[in-house]
Amino acid sequence: MKNIYNIGLIGFGTIGAGVVETFNRNLDLMEQKVGTKIRLKKVVDLDIKTDRGVEVDKNILSTDVNDILDDPEIDIVIELIGGYEPAKSFILKAMENKKHVVTANKALLAKHWEEILETANKNHVRICFEASVGGGIPLLGPLNESLGANNIQSIYGIINGTANYILTKMTDEGLDFEYVLREAQEKGYAEQDPTFDIEGHDTAQKLIILTILGFGIYVKQDKFHVEGISKIKQEDIEFIKNEMGYSIKLLAISKIEGEKLEVRVHPTLISQDHLLASVNDVFNGVYLVGDIVGPVMMYGQGAGMMPTASAVVGDCLDIMGNTERKNIYGPNNTEVKKIKDIEDINSKYYLRLNVIDKPGVLHTISGILSNYDISIESVSQKKKDEGQEVPIFMVTHEALEKNIRKSLKEIANLDFVKKDTLFIRVL
């Protein structure tokens, strides 16, 4: 083992400041655990003047990334600037200069996984990314290592704190989506442009990484269904909670079915007695099933300065403990022949139709559903004067999604249907 490990940090934002603070607080503890000296040798950012609220030696600050990438003494590069470029170029150059890399950059990994892994292996360096999914939750390491004796059968994840916070507030306080979103933006839980979080793209990028580790298969985002929460109304929340005993969660799903792999992101109804239903506010939770271990639940803070920094520094310690370890992520799953299309899944469905209340409406809708082999488990209609617009809530028995979509397309053409029908899958 080396006498000292030198680390270079690219990106001195919120998480970068957390990494510096972690070294300030627990350097002695970390050195005891790895049995060698550790030095944060250089911190690079375009802005090195703004006070980050952490103590840092001004002599290690720089605005020149090459002070890290070209320094032969630096062993590990931490990349925390996010995005695709210049992060990708920095990571690849670090690897080509024989430096191990730690990153929290889920977007980059999800889009350029194959090139990054190939570059790491070609240069015999490690790439670690525990902080890219689940923030401070010990998730990817246990999935890849501690559960390595298992064939993973399914992964279900609530892995976006913004969407989960919004749905929790809507459920617990009876608030509308738009109001809660504004509140989340004011509190810093949501970006000023929240599209990435509320439309499922952040969740999808994280699911790509979970799928690699769980099943050894890299699936690009354009190959699977991604759907967000912006169409969910308070009336849906109330019915689903009070009449069905379910919660709505933005769920990431990856599971094996024979020779097909299901990968999808969408709002999902979860029974309130399921462990995932208790994952609320900005917390994250991942529920998976292995063929040996059975069900496993991992829960904790999925974002934030110090939880994410904990995962980043943990990766550094892991590298120091075994620099020769190969980058093996997930099994070599040769059984999977195809990614299952969303239209080929079978599920129960919750439907909310907005119609003009008049005789024969339910009979007509039920008839169309029946024509597509869709049977109704329950139906509820709010009472209003005849001729007014009224929501109808339905829950179907298990049906083929292709048939659900075809039936709703036909129903949408009826003159008494006034808005697009919302449908949500039931876990």
Cα–Cα distance measured from residue 114 to residue 81, given in angstroms and rounded to the nearest whole number: 20
Own/partner pairs, 393-397, CB within 8 angstroms, 24+ separation: 393/239, 393/243, 393/350, 393/351, 393/352, 394/350, 394/351, 394/352, 394/353, 395/244, 395/348, 395/349, 395/350, 395/351, 395/426, 396/348, 396/349, 396/351, 396/369, 397/348
Give residue-wise pLDDT tens across range 290-334: 999 999 999 998 888 999 999 999 999 999 999 999 999 988 866
Of the candidates 128, 129, 142, the residue with the CA atom closest to the CA atom of residue 298: 142
Q: Which domain holds residue 273?
A: 140-301
pLDDT in tens, 198-209: 999 999 999 999
Q: What angle do CA 283, 330, 78 make, to 5 degrees?
A: 60
Task: Round to whole Å and give the CA distance between 411 and 421.
Answer: 9
**Could you tell me which residues come within 8 angstroms of residue 189 by beta carbon, excluding any fewer than 6 positions away?**
161, 162, 165, 282
Number of structural domains found in the chain = 3
Q: In this structure, what token pair is assigned to residue 423?
A: 């449908």
Domain termination residue (choose one: 249, 273, 301): 301
In-domain check, residue 333: no
Closest alpha carbon to 261 in 331, 186, 365: 331
Q: Could you read off the pLDDT of 81-139 as tens digits, one per residue?
A: 999 999 999 999 999 999 999 999 999 999 999 999 999 999 999 999 999 999 999 99
Residue 313 lies in a domain: no
pLDDT at 353 > cutoff 80: yes
133: tokens are 């999914």
pTM of the model: 0.95
Domain-embedded: residue 337: no
Buried b (16+ CB within 10 A) or exposed e, 273-297: ebebbebbebbbbbbbbbeeeeebe
Over 90: is that where the pLDDT of 1 sits?
A: no
Res. 359 pLDDT band, cuts 50 70 90: confident
Dist. CA 68–CA 99, nearest whole Å? 10
Q: Is residue 387 over pLDDT 80?
A: no
Tell me whether residue 289 is in a domain. Answer: yes
pLDDT tier for residue 378 given thresholds of 50, 70 and 90: very high
Residue 384 has pLDDT above 70, yes or no: no
Cα 322 from Cα 360, distance rounded (Å): 70
**Same domain flag for 225 and 248:** yes
Identify whether 393 is part of a domain. yes
Based on the fold, state whether residues 150 and 70 are members of the same structural domain. Answer: no
Residue type, 34: V
Residues 174 and 52 in one domain: no
Distances (CA, A) of 108 to 44, 144, 205, 220, 230: 19, 20, 9, 12, 25
131 and 149 assigned to the same domain: no
Quick one: which of 129, 130, 119, 117 has its CA closest to 97? 119
- Can you give the pLDDT at residue 2? 87
Residue 169 DSSP code: H
In this predicted structure, what is the pLDDT of residue 385?
61
Mean pLDDT value of segment 144-167: 95
CB 331 within 8 A of CB 211: no
The distance of Cα 407 from the centroid of its chain, to the nearest Å, equals: 31
Confirm whether 316 is domain-assigned.
no
The confidence score (pLDDT) of residue 412 equals 93
- Is the residue at 336 inside a domain? no
Q: What is the DSSP track for 180-223?
A: HHHHHHHHTSS-SS-HHHHTTHHHHHHHHHHHHHHHS----GGG
For the cut 90, the answer to whether the pLDDT of residue 163 exceeds it is yes
Same structural domain, 151 and 115: no
252 shares its domain with 355: no
Contacts for 341 with CB less than 8 Å, ≥ 6 apart? none
Q: Is 206 exposed, middle or buried (0-12, 13-18, 19+ CB in 10 A)?
A: buried
Clarify whether residues 147 and 88 are in a common domain: no
Q: Express the helix, strand and coil content of the chain in percent, nearest 5 each.
A: 40, 25, 35
Asked whether the predicted pLDDT for residue 342 surpasses 80, the reply is yes
Secondary structure string (H, E, C) spanning 277-295 = HHCCCCEEEEEEEECCCEE
* Mean per-residue pLDDT over the chain, rounded: 95
CATH code of residue 174: 3.30.360.10
Q: What is the pLDDT of residues 27-73, one digit of tens each?
A: 999 999 999 999 999 999 999 999 999 999 999 999 999 999 999 99
Alpha-carbon gap, residue 59 to 181, rounded angstroms: 42
User: Does some domain include residue 331?
Assistant: no
Q: Could you give the residue numbers annotated as active site?
A: 206
Q: How confident is the model at residue 386 (pLDDT cuts 50, 70, 90)?
A: low
**End position of a domain, from candidates 84, 119, 136:** 136
% of the chain with per-residue pLDDT over 70: 98
CA 189 from centre of chain: 15
Q: Which residues pair with residue 352 across a beta bridge?
A: 393, 422
Looking up residue 347, the CATH number of its domain turns out to be: 3.30.70.260
Query: Average pLDDT of 237-248?
Result: 95
Confidence band for 158, pLDDT divided at 50, 70 and 90: very high
* CATH code assigned at 82: 3.40.50.720
